[in-house]
Structure 1
Amino acid sequence: MASRPSGSTRDRRRMALAADRLRVAGVTVAEVGREVGYTDGFAFSAAFKRVRGIPPSAHRGRP
């Protein structure tokens, strides 16, 4: 039986996927949050900032 990733590993993976998706024009922060499993945009934004160190809207403008 394979072990499941820890919460922090799972969160980092989800936020890495979200970071990639945030670079796509026309996709809202809330849509990205739903794609990675959050039903609440505010909860996604807080989790993204906790894991990545910046809010998703700031990440969107980075090269």
Structure 2
Amino acid sequence: METPNWTLIIVFTAVGLAFAAGFVLFALWAIRDGQFQDVEGVKFRMLEDFNPKKGRTAPRD
């Protein structure tokens, strides 16, 4: 028995909307948590952690 085309369209639409809603909720969670307040700071903190003399990350405080 074949599934009607409308059923497939509705299923794919529901799955797509669920993924989109999950992405939006994840983005809102990250924004509310302050992940994007200091975009350049992440790069500089990563550079400070790297110790070029030892060739690995330095121990954190």
- Per the TM superposition, whether the score is higher than 0.5 is no
**Under a length normalisation based on structure 1, what TM-score does the superposition of the two structures give?**
0.33
Q: Higher strand proportion, which one?
A: 2
**Under a length normalisation based on structure 2, what TM-score does the superposition of the two structures give?**
0.34
* Higher radius of gyration, 1 or 2: 2
Higher relative contact order (CA 8 A, sep 6+): 1
